[in-house]
Every structure is written in structure tokens, then in C-alpha cells.
Amino acid sequence: MKKFWPFARRRVTAETQSAGLPPVVEAAPSDMARFLTLEDEETTALEGARRRLTMIGIALGFAFTILGGRAIMLAVAGEAGPAEPVVAADGPRGDLVDRNGNVLATTLETWSLFADPTQVWDAAETAEALATVLPELDVERVTRDLSTRRRFVWIQRNLTPRQRQAVFSLGMPGLDFRTEPRRVYPRGRLASHVVGFSDRDLIGIAGAERAFDGALEAGDGRPVALSIDMGVQYHVDEVLRASMQEFRALAAVGVVMDVRTGEVLSMVSLPDYDANRPAEARPDDRLNRATQAVYEMGSTFKAFTVALGLETGIARPGETFDASNPLRIGGHTIHDFHAQNRELTLSEIFTHSSNIGSSLIALEAGPEAQRDLLQRLRLLEAAPIELAETAAPILPRQWGPTETATISYGHGLAVSPLSVAAAFAAIANGGVYVQPTLQPVRPGETVAGEQVLDPEVAQHVLDLMREVVEDGTGRRAEVPGYRVAGKTGTAEKPDRGGYSRNRLISSFSAIFPYDDPQYVVLVMLDEPHGNASTYGYATAGYTAAPAAGDIIERIAPILGVERIDDPLERAALVRAALSPDPDLPAPRIQH
């Protein structure tokens, strides 16, 4: 307070001054006291700020020390974060369901096992212990991973609850779990080529999972419905498996399609795979032979050749073509293997499956007209369906007279089975082509199509297909009450220097019911072998046609097709089953 003394010293009374006595100091006035109080508070605040700054400096120094030590540890020990990035989806991936709401693919939360190798006491001991509860575990790989100085390694993904509990019960240090979404396919192999599969990040890789990936990832959790009917799919699959086994075929294909809407109700490709374990399947098993493979389909193409003849006016009902002798063209000789050796009408060319008669029609129409018709039927392009797994046809390098003749009966042009099914659907649909689709069509919804054949031409071809089942090579496809129409096709597979007589593609394209065409059924067997029941023949009339009939009998009630019993049809069916079939080994070109 000394520095304030002069102020106090000036404040003395008059009496003191007159007496010559030392001045008496008075108390500081009230405003001075307030001034002194403010100065004390300011000093206290400054001291507090200094203390806080000191504490902050100490904290920052400590933090930087920790970060520096952590950086050194990461440089020495390796990555501390997860080995694989985990991307959080905006919402759950939607389910895939069939047209009736049956779940084909869904997403479940599962547990995945990982380890921090720096916390594992003994890598070999830990790996061996885990193998006791996870039998499929690669002990050598896990031992090697646990011996590193990394901070994170995956041990096994997507454990079942029982496996997780078993691992947890081991009580091994350094192990932990993380929840992960996993795509699950309840139907396993059934419709695996249609459904497809996704990767660990739930991104569609094949099938509908890939085709409709955007809709499934929309994040609203709503299911995406397919046109497939799993009841129909089951029966087609079962019949084809039995046929493959009976005739020791390499592969088989089955397609069921609604001719008016283009909806694919069933698509079977055998052999197949378990969609839950696609990595374990062979590449050939993952091949969708209905869309991703192409074949020379043989005499099924005669239906398109007859349509060509009718459309161009070259072939008229009752008009005949001379099939009494083999046809020589371009250094090749074309034979009829169940030759009639006479002039044949258009109907006889079709029902007796005459290569010579078919070639004569196509040659007279010319390659341009033939190519134009096949293009309108979408047979010169990949099948127009949502799946990415579609193959373009194999076309001839040049389209001259020889190619025109051979293509007329299904040789020299390889197409996918689905493309053929869609072309037959156009015949059944009054000449209107509707693109095949895996998306269901709502009741009453109008589906746009393209008129590719004159309705009268389409009806005439359909009539001839009915004759094939009644009196020709397709008699074993008949199903009483459903009046099936169809066409057999037996093609030799290409080989070095020509075609192999012992390696056949046998197929049958069916339409039912004939009186009110609603569905197409296509069956194809790759390299079937004859047996005692087929008199040793592996041709379509003995192998593919009966399978198609069996499928129709099974699925027609599911599809709501009314059955009309006809005793005469049943009697004719019994006679056909007990008598040898005129269908003989496949036609071929002789050089």
C-alpha cells in the first residue's frame, strides 16, 4: 500500500497543519478500495490462466508422446486395423423371391473369427485347437498367419452359432469375433444358375443377384420378385436329373416359358452348383447352359424352315418336293436317315423330318430370306434376357448355298436353348415375338411384342407340330388331356474334320395345350446314350421327347391348365409306347 501513501498524506485536517504536528493518515476513500479490489482479482485471474496453460502444455506433450510411441509400434509390429475394409451399406440388401413369394436369397448376420497374433501365446497350439471345432480349417495357413507380427488376421468367416460357441469355449487368447452380413440361398442348388450369387461385400456376381443388383441394393429392404415358379422348377429339375442318369448324358437343359408374357417360369441347367458355395464348384458346373452355351439344335430348325417356305410362298399345302434321292451340294451329300425315297408334301417333310426336303425349301427361298427370318426370331443374337450370362450365336463365316441348306435342318448355326424356346413361343403366340424375361408380369398387364410371322403361317407351323406328336417322331411327348405339339431335334456335335455320329445333341421343343397355346417347354440332352428301352438309339424321339411329356404332365396342374380327358388319346398313347419309333440316328453331311 506504500505507493498510495502520497494520496493519503495530502488528506489532513486544518487543525493538524496549524499545530505543526505530524499529519494523521485517513482511511482510503470507497472508490480507492474498489480499485484495489479489482487489481487483486486481475492478478488472481492471470495466475489462474498461467496454471491452465501449463496444464494444457503438459497434456499436449503427453499426447504427442503417446502418438509418437504408437507410430513407432505400428512401424515395427504392422497394421493394427482390419485386413479387409468393412463397408457399411446404406440399408439391407433385399431378398430375392420367386413369383409366389418363396425366398430364394436373403441376408443374415453371422459371426466371423479373427485374431491378433501379438496376443496369441502359441500359434501352432492355437491353430490345432481351432481345428478341433472347425474341421475345414487349414492348420498350416492359420499357424503361419498367427506367427506374424500383424495385429489382425481373419481365421474363418461366417461361422454358425454352434461354431462360434465352440470357439468361444476354447478360451484361447488373441481370438475375437465380428458380426458380418452373409448372403444365404435356402434352395441351394435348385435354380442356382438363375439366382446366382454375390461376393463377401454383397455385390451381385452372377445370375439375378447381378442382373438386379441395383434394385436389391436400393436400401428399402423390399424383396425383388422373379418370374420363376419354384414348384415348376422343382419338377423340371427332377425329370432332367432322372433323364441324365438314365441316358448317361453329359448335361441337360430345361426351359418353361409363358408364350404371351415371355415370363420364364423355369430354367434348369445341369450339372449345377450350390449357390451357398460357388467357389467350390467347377467352372463347367457354374455354366448356365440355357443361356451361356450355344448348340447346333438339329431338326427343331425345320419349324423355322417351314415358316420360311410358307411366308415366301415357295411351299404351299399339297405342294411336293422331290426327296427321292440324296442331295449333292458344294461337295457334300445330304441324306434322309428315315428316307421315304419319294416326293414329299410340306407336311411330310416336317413329320418325317426330311433333310432333303428342308434343304430344297431353304435353297429356293435363298440365304437372304432365311437370314432375315432367323433375325426376326432373334436367333442371330444373344437371347434378350436380363441375365449377363448370355452368349451370342456362332454364325457361319459365309452364308452360301451349302450353309443355307445345312442351317435349314439345324447344322452350321449354334444358338442358345433359350433363344430357341423364345422363337417357338412366337410360333405359339400367333407370330408375335415377346422377349423372354425373369421379371413377373402383373395380372392384366399388357406386354408389348413384335409381329415377326404372319398369324396364318404361325398357325400352320403349329398344326404341323401337332402332327409330329400324333404321328411322327414326337409321339412319346404326348400327354393325354393336354394335346402337345412339338418338334424333335437330333444334331451331331462338331468334331475335327466334320461331325461325330456318336456325340449327339437331342432336344424337343413342345407347345401346350395345342388348342390354346400357353406354354413352351424345351428339353435338351447333351450326348445321351441309348439303352435297351430305346432300342439303343439316343435320338430326341427316345430321350428328350419323353422327358418333355413327363414335365408337361407334372407342371400343367401347377400352372392351372385344364385337362380334357379323351379315351382315344389315351389309347393312341399306349400304342405309341408299345411300338418302335420311326426316329432314327441323327442326320449328317457326308463328304
299 is catalytic: yes
Cα 154 to chain centroid distance, Å, stands at 29
Cβ-count burial 455-465 (b if 16+ within 10 Å, e if not): eebbbbbbebb
How many Å apart are CA 385 and CA 378, to the nearest integer? 12
Query: Who contacts 470 (Cβ-Cβ below 8 Å, separation ≥6)?
Result: 478, 572
* Region of residue 535 (phi > 0: left; psi between -120 and 50: alpha; otherwise: beta): left
Query: Who contacts 286 (Cβ-Cβ below 8 Å, separation ≥6)?
Result: 193, 206, 273, 278
Sign of the dihedral defined by the CA atoms of residues 430, 436, 437, 440, in that order? positive
How many Å apart are CA 219 and CA 93, to the nearest integer? 6
For 95, the grid coordinates are: 431378398
Sign of the dihedral defined by the CA atoms of residues 90, 440, 291, 242, in that order? positive
Sign of the dihedral defined by the CA atoms of residues 113, 118, 119, 124, in that order? positive
- Of 187, 231, 222, 181, the closest CA to residue 207 belongs to 187
Grid cell 409366389 — which residue? 100
Query: Who contacts 150 (Cβ-Cβ below 8 Å, separation ≥6)?
Result: 77, 78, 79, 83, 117, 118
φ/ψ (deg, to 5) at 348: -70, -35
How many Å apart are CA 417 and CA 409, to the nearest integer? 16
Write the CA distances from 189 to 202, 252, 262, 487, integer angstroms. Answer: 19, 15, 24, 30
**Could you tell me if 303 and 361 are in contact, meaning their C-beta atoms sit under 8 angstroms apart?**
no
For 481, the grid coordinates are: 388331356
Of the candidates 198, 227, 269, 299, the residue annotated as catalytic is 299
How many Å apart are CA 392 and CA 379, to the nearest integer? 9
User: What is residue 381's three-state secondary structure?
Assistant: coil
φ/ψ (deg, to 5) at 154: -75, 140
How many Å apart are CA 344 and CA 327, to the nearest integer? 14
Query: Who contacts 180 (Cβ-Cβ below 8 Å, separation ≥6)?
Result: 86, 109, 110, 111, 112, 157, 158, 200
Q: At what angle do helices 302-312 and 367-376 cross, to 10 degrees?
A: 110
Query: Who contacts 2 (Cβ-Cβ below 8 Å, separation ≥6)?
Result: none
Sign of the dihedral defined by the CA atoms of residues 217, 219, 220, 221, in that order? positive
Residues forming the active site: 299
